[in-house]
Structure 1
Amino acid sequence: MTNDRKDPLFILIKSLSKSEKRQFKVYAGRLGVNTDSKFIALFNHLDKSDSLNDTEIITKGIVTKLQLSNLKAHLYKQILVSLRLSPIHQNVRSQLREQIDFATILYHKGLYKQSLKILDKAKSLAIDNEENNMAYEIVEFEKIIETQYITRSINTRADELTIQAKNLSVKNVLTSKLSNLSLQLYGFMLKYGYVRNDHEYNEITNYFEDKLPKYEWSDLGFREKLWLFKAHLWYNFMVQDFLSCYRYSKKWTELFYEHPKMIELNPVFFLRGNHYLMESLYLLKDKTKLKLHLKQFEATVTSKDFPKDDNLEVLAFQYTCNNKLNIHFLEGSFEEGSQLIQPILEGINQFKNRIDDHHIMVFYYKIACLYFGMEKYKECIAYLNKIIQNKTLKMREDLMCFSRVLSLVAHYEAGMDYHLETQLKETYRFLIKMNDLHAVQKEMIKFLKSLGEIYPSEIKNEFRKLLITLKKFEDHPYEKRAFIYLDIISWLESNIENKSVAEIVREKSKKLVRE
């Protein structure tokens, strides 16, 4: 038995639409001899199967055990070739690669003039769409051909190609530096989350300033600006400057509206920019603008003009659901938000081969927070356990840390405090291991640990003391991150005022609107 989720061929076949399957069969059957080919038989078998069983394939006589590996590889390649020929998957980049391939064939046949003509058109298309890497590749190819195809204009042609190659090289180097910086910062953010102290702040700030290349704004094209805005966004997220996050995510999305043809060529970046714009508004607690942008976002991704493919479908699902949840958290409408749980779980199952572990864990944490807001603590604990028991440690460490803290609070509220002492010790050890034991968490653990020694009549007074203590950290540059993940203040106020967390959050939401 092979693991379905890890077998690339099985995953690829199950991702095909009806039209893509039909096209593959037409493509594979273009020659009569292929009608009964083994790879067609294997395709039909896997298409109808709910799971991948190598033994069953061999037993049916489709292929021998020794041939199976090679047949799978051959089928995989044929499916990709078929998809490449599909108009659905054609874009400027695929057109450029096709034209370069055609020019290469003509070059090897010695038809230099025809090859140069195709390359010249392809170069113009690449430059118009800021595909500078491909434009550089084309110029280098033109230089090779010009050394073999002598024309009367060789001197001016040589100068022209040399200048083009130099300019494109400078652009590509700048783009590479900016994209490298952006990628590194994004990697840091996923692993560590927000900075936790002065040392981390100085470390990430020095890294950002040292690696940010010098540039003239007038020299920046679409791609250079895009990577620049991304790098600033990731940096500001980590240092918790959410107003700057909003500004740079807004610049990111506006860049696409200034260059509308880039939306079709780079739809993933367009979606991500919009998502981070909405995420920034959530962190700024600007419910009105968040709702407005979410409405525009949904209208855009569902319009007939917006590009459609499997990857975009998954991203639209993630970003729409995440921001809908964020609105419910801001409004305190946890019961209404619970209607999203089933569609989210169905979406996770539907896209399980295309959503990474990190984003699934984020969904689980938000579902746990919904249940906590509804005072359904056992359900909350169940989803937090999915995160706590995940041993990969490849996701954001801060998410794992706060999942454990929220779990402690949920256990207390659920009256499941018979193992609280053990859990407190485990959480304490884990936070120290992650270097994430800070003032807010220390105070929370100390409070929960002392609950067994407090008389029931004194509990409310202890809640008040903790609230006063934690209020000091609401605007602390590093401690405030605790309140992003877990609204401890609202929980304490709900216990003090004998109201639900939802009521407290709703009251705060109305107050923000009035202000």
Structure 2
Amino acid sequence: MPSQNIDPIFQLIKSLTPSEKRHFRLFTNKSGSSEDLKFLQLFDALEQQESLNEEKVLKQVPSIKKAQLANLKNNLYKHLLSSLRTYHAAQNLDIQLHEQLDYARVLYNKGFYQQSLKMLDKVKVTALEYELPHIALTAIDFEKLIESQYITRSLSGRADSLTQEATAVSTHIAQMHRLSNVALRLYGLYLKVGLARNQEDYDSITTFFQENLPEIDNQRAGFYEKLYFHQAHVWYYLMIQDFRNCYRAAQKWVDLFDEYPHMKERRPVLYIKGMHNLLNALYNLLYHSKFTAVLQQLEEFAADPKRKSNANIDTLLFLYLTTNKINAYFLEGNFTEGLQVIPGVLQNLEGFQAQLDPHRMLVFYYKIASLYFGSGNFKKAIEYLNKVIHHRNTSLREDLQCFARILNLIAHYEAGYDDDTLDYQIRTVYHFLGKMDNQQQMQVEIFKFLRNVGGIAPHQVRDAFAELKERLIAISENPFERRPFLYLDIISWLESKIENVPVQEIMRRKAGRLK
């Protein structure tokens, strides 16, 4: 991506909706100062450009000198954020409560202590009702400051009451942080390593989980404590490949929003993520009927005109709906049918590029490559696998990088590339496997087979595929060797070679038995 297109102010302007732009113009025009006029002129000039060209801006707005441009851009950025804060305040309770804290500070500075305390009490009550303990604690700390400096005589026993409130809320927050820290560290480990590769991984993950995750009292725990508790279990069970318990933990995550119905509106991102993890668990279990029902539930939520909408929510809905729609094609073995979603996916990937992290982009490319591979278009599969293989940050998902290379090697074999090209691919896979911390038997067996397949007589190839299939089935009996089969359904590919039918025909046959 060209560097000019990631300029923060330009990126922010290009993300604005028509109503946000209209609001900014009204917001800036209030004072009518010459400085505000320059902001608007700069805003209009940048808004009209497809890619940032500062020289063109200076020609378009002669009143702006080159020496002023950097400072004006910084101030415009601040004005835009202030405008967006005001515009979105109605949909964000935390913004409203922070604003009321600011008003309480103004009243305090003016010496109106009773008015300030009254406002702080309202903030505290609302924050606790909507599970925002950090804001509640800020309000309590401010109340303590006022009570400690001035004799308000607002309530008898006020000091004891505030002390108890502060202790209770801070205890809540401390427990939340302990739980969220464990959940976040487990998620970070998952992004780096993927699923447990061996007994050592299993023991390490389990020891960390058991030693760091605190127990919770369901009667006293708040929404976030329960949420982080379930999140930690989802990541733990996912990494140790206990997909049944992962499904149960993800279901509890989603069910939490039935227990706290207002949180679906207040924290839709957490609800959407919970639904995605539930779908992921169902996909790993090959639980097709339940997967279809939950996906429909997520689609209904996305289509609800009353739900909250912003760029973050829309990005996640695109990400998770698209991922799971593609997974549905995998479950059903309808790879060719799934190809129809790719143009829309690529267009949206471009539109959401600023919001999507590299890990999610790589997963999309791998899934697109898998659709092409399953439909028999091996050259297109190679094109998208190369986007994963040649990504500049190879520390992300070592397992995904590995399976992309193996699938790429198989795709080269299927596409009928010449021996020199195939030899080059074999060398690159061998080099990558050599750098991996831990190689698994499935990876090694496939690599050995593809390295030697050129020397097998044509009439013996079918038997060689059958022998490899039997070896891999035996390997898959080991729980720690099942991980690669989740990323690469090599057994179905081997069956397609043995029976001389397209791989998606094998997949459809299996899907029919699962329904």
TM range (shorter): over 0.9
The equivalent of 2:391 in structure 1 is 390
Q: What does 1:213-224 correspond to in 2, within 5 Å?
A: 213-224=214-225
When residues 446 and 289 of structure 1 are mapped into structure 2, their CA distance, relative to the original with a 3 A threshold, is same
Give the whole-Å Cα distance in 2 for the aligned partners of 1:408 and 1:341: 23
CA–CA distance in 2 between the matches of 1:28 and 1:503? 61
Q: Are 1:5 and 1:11, in contact at CA under 8 Å, matched by a contact in 2?
A: yes
Question: How far off its partner does 1:208 sit?
Answer: 1.2
Within 2, Cα distance between the matches of 1:88 and 1:44?
24
Q: What's the RMSD between the two structures over aligned residues?
A: 1.5
The 5-angstrom pairing of residues 33-52 of structure 1 reads 33-34=33-34, 37-52=37-52
In the TM superposition, residue 212 of structure 1 has moved relative to its aligned partner by: 0.8
Is 1:414 the counterpart of 2:418 in the alignment? Answer: no
Question: How far off is 1:483 after superposition?
Answer: 0.8
Does residue 494 of structure 2 align to residue 492 of structure 1? yes
Distance 1:417 1:201, change over 3 A: farther
**Residues 434-461 of structure 1, C-alpha deviations (whole Å, 9 max, x = no match):** 2242100110011011112110000001
Which stretch shifts more, 164-173 or 413-422?
413-422
SS in 2 for 1:429: helix
Judged with a 3 Å threshold, the aligned counterparts in structure 2 of structure 1 residues 36 and 227 are, in CA distance, closer, same or farther, namely closer
**Is 1:483 aligned to 2:503, yes or no?**
no
| TM-score, normalization by structure 2 | 0.97
1:253 alignment partner in structure 2: 254
Residue 14 of structure 1 deviates from its aligned partner by: 0.6
SS in 2 for 1:189: helix
Question: Whole-Å Cα distance in 1 between the matches of residues 2 and 500 of structure 2?
Answer: 55
Distance 1:209 1:417 in 2: 52
- Once the two structures are TM-superposed, the CA of residue 57 in structure 1 deviates from its matched residue by 2.2
Q: TM-score, normalised by structure 1?
A: 0.97
**Alignment match, 1:144:** 145
**Matching residue of 2:473:** 471
Could you say which residue in structure 2 is the equivalent of 1:338?
339
Q: 1:280-295 alignment to 2 at 5 Å?
A: 280-295=281-296
What amino acid sits opposite 2:367 in the alignment?
K
Tell which deviates more after alignment, 432-441 or 293-302: 432-441
Does structure 1 retain, via aligned residues, the 8 Å contact 2:89–2:95? no
Q: Are the counterparts in 2 of residues 4 and 11 from structure 1 also a CA contact under 8 Å?
A: no
Distance 1:88 1:345, change over 3 A: farther
Name the counterpart of 1:8: 8
1:217 partner SS = coil
CA contact 2:372–2:380 (8 Å) conserved in 1: yes
Residues 443, 10 of structure 1: CA spacing in aligned structure 2 closer, same or farther, 3 A cutoff? same
Query: Aligned pair in 2 of structure 1 residues 467, 352: CA closer, same or farther (>3 Å)?
Result: same
Q: Which moved more, 1:31-40 or 1:449-458?
A: 31-40
| 1:84 pairs with 2:85 | yes
2:5–2:51 CA contact under 8 A, matched in 1: no
Residue 352 of structure 1 and its aligned partner are, at CA, apart by 1.4
Aligned pair 1:191/2:192, yes or no?
A: yes
- What fraction of aligned residue pairs are identical, expressed as a percent? 44
Alignment match, 1:32: 32
Letter in 2 for 1:319: Y
1:318 aligns with 2:304: no
Higher alpha-carbon deviation: 355-364 or 22-31: 355-364
Summarize the alignment of residues 342-491 of structure 1 with structure 2, pairs less than 5 Å apart. 342-418=343-419, 419-491=421-493
Q: Which shifted more, 49-58 or 175-184?
A: 49-58
- CA distance in 1 between partners of 2:114 and 2:509 (Å): 74
Tell me the equivalent position of 2:298: 297
Match of 1:52, SS?
coil
CA-to-aligned-CA distance 1:332-358 (integer Å, 9 cap, x gap): 111111111111001101111111221
Contact 1:178/1:228 (8 A) holds in 2: yes
Whether the 8 Å CA contact 1:2–1:52 is kept in 2: the answer is no
Is the partner of 1:218 in helix, strand or coil?
Answer: coil
Query: Is the 2:124–2:140 Cα contact (8 Å) retained in structure 1?
Result: yes
Of the structure 1 ranges 428-437 and 108-117, higher mean CA displacement relative to structure 2 is found in 428-437
Q: Structure 2 counterpart of 1:156, which letter?
A: G
In the alignment, residue 493 of structure 1 is paired with which amino acid?
E
* CA deviation map 1:88-138 (0-9, x unaligned): 653211111011000000001111011001001111101111111111111
**Alpha-carbon distance in 2 for matches of 1:4, 1:62:** 23
Unpaired runs of at least 5, structure 1: none
* Match among 495, 503, 506 for residue 504 of structure 1: 506
Superimposed CA distance per residue, residues 39-93 of structure 1 (whole angstroms, 9 cap, x where no aligned partner): 1111000111111012222344252232221111100000111111115653211
Indicate conservation of the 8 Å contact 2:5/2:52, yes or no.
no
**Moved segments of 4+, more than 3 Å:** 87-90, 151-155
Code of the residue aligned with 2:358 in structure 1: it is D
Shift of 1:512: 1.9
* Alpha-carbon distance, 1:394 to partner: 4.0
* Distance (Å, rounded) in 2 between the aligned partners of 1:139 and 1:367: 52
- How far apart, CA to CA, are the structure 1 residues paired with 2:433 and 2:64? 53
Shift of 1:35: 8.0
Distance 1:127 1:506 in 2: 51
Whether the 8 Å contact between 1:84 and 1:90 is mirrored in structure 2 is: no
Using the TM superposition, give the Cα deviation of residue 213 of structure 1 relative to its aligned residue in structure 2, in angstroms: 2.0
The amino acid that maps onto 1:33 is S
In the TM superposition, residue 474 of structure 1 has moved relative to its aligned partner by 2.5
- What is the CA–CA distance in structure 1 between the aligned matches of 2:16 and 2:295, rounded to whole Å? 29
Distance 2:10 2:438 in 1: 41
Partners of 1:507 and 1:18 lie apart in 2 by 49
| Cα pair 1:4 1:51 within 8 Å, conserved | yes
Letter in 1 for 2:162: L
- The structural deviation recorded for 1:251 is 0.4
* Structure 2 partner of 1:241: 242
| 3-state SS in 2 of match to 1:478 | helix
2:480 partner SS: coil
Cα distance change on mapping 1:355 and 1:87 into 2, 3 Å: closer
SS at match of 1:307: coil
Distance (Å, rounded) in 1 between the aligned partners of 2:148 and 2:89? 38
Query: Residues of 1 paired with 2:326 and 2:154: CA distance?
Result: 64
- Amino acid aligned to 2:98: R
CA distance in 2, matches of 1:300, 1:138: 34
Rounded Cα–Cα distance in structure 1 between residues aligned with 2:373 and 2:146 = 68
Q: Size of the alignment, in residue pairs?
A: 513
**1:182-206 deviation line (CA, Å, top 9, x unaligned):** 1111111111111111111111111
Q: Secondary structure at the match of 1:147?
A: helix
Instruction: Give, as a single letter, the amino acid of the residue that structure 2 aligns with 1:421.
Output: D
- What CA distance in whole angstroms lies between the structure 1 residues aligned with 2:321 and 2:34? 44
